[in-house]
Structure 1
Amino acid sequence: MQAILATLGYVLSPDQSRVLMIRRDTRPDDLHYGYYNGLGGKLQPDEDVVTGMRREVAEEAGLECHRLDLAGTISWPGFGRNGENWFGFLFRIPDWSGTPLAGNPEGSLHWVEKADLLAGRLPMWESDRNFLPLVFAAEPRPFHGVMPFAGGRATGWSYV
């Protein structure tokens, strides 16, 4: 399967109770418009996933990542605007430095309570509720999930 390789990172507050999220609110034509999401994006050619995650956090939030914990991977067949397949590497980022930006060209940045995120009290992809408990588990272990999409909606979810 050919897929777009991407990163998705969750920057944690020093006390681990909040997560820095982007609210995609600048471009109404954005596939993610109005939703809260982690930081990240497509890998550049010849870029490894850790370098790509660090670059995305620096570009989107102005932060330098010191520790990245791989939470898992997800295959998203059919996720793209034109049905492209995506493959994502998800990270928890508990150690970083800098002062977060207020926003970037894709949206505004917000510290949100991890409890609110896990309870689904924020506008986000409905499907994110499937994997966020694995990302933020009390005793996390790396996972691999498959979440097929059709017509802009998840049609299933499985993980190991």
Structure 2
Amino acid sequence: MALQTEVSALEKELFGDPRYQKMVEAKRLLALYTGREPDIVATPRIVIAKKPDAPVKRAAPRSPVNQAILDTAAQFLAGRSAPTSTADVFDYVAERHDVPGKNPKNNLSAMLSNSSRFQSHGRTGWTLALETPEAPEEQLALAPSEASNTIPASPAGEPDVRSVNPWPGGGT
């Protein structure tokens, strides 16, 4: 009984040491690969503390000046499909409004970035954010040939089947 208490006390003391945790995990992984039980008596699990959820940020109502600036920028970008540089948007807006801040051009860029009405295209500029109109379900349904990942048969008569990675940049 005393020996068991001493072992438990040692494990508690060692558990705080990152080297001990690393050894325990390495032995556990080795056991998984070899199909054997780990050769440590008690394998304490490492528990990573979860950060508390960040408080929900609610946007403060925009000032009338900032709202007017954003409306003017939206008018300027309306009908343009190619990105327009921040400098061009700033020149247009600055003719009509006094953009506040120590660096007004950067302030305008931050205002555009924080608004859901605008889409940034990096250094190439800004466009209005695309609005996706709701389509009836009939239009959303694909014909079987369009919904298939099967490419037409190869010259040998065998279909060329490729899987598509649905994640951004996944490609084929």
TM-score over 0.5 (shorter chain): no
Structure 1 or 2: more strand by fraction: 1
Higher-Rg structure is 2
Q: Calculate the TM-score normalised by the size of structure 1.
A: 0.23
- Say which structure, 1 or 2, has more relative contact order (CA 8 Å, 6+ apart): 1
Structure 1 or 2: more helix by fraction: 2
Q: Calculate the TM-score normalised by the size of structure 2.
A: 0.22
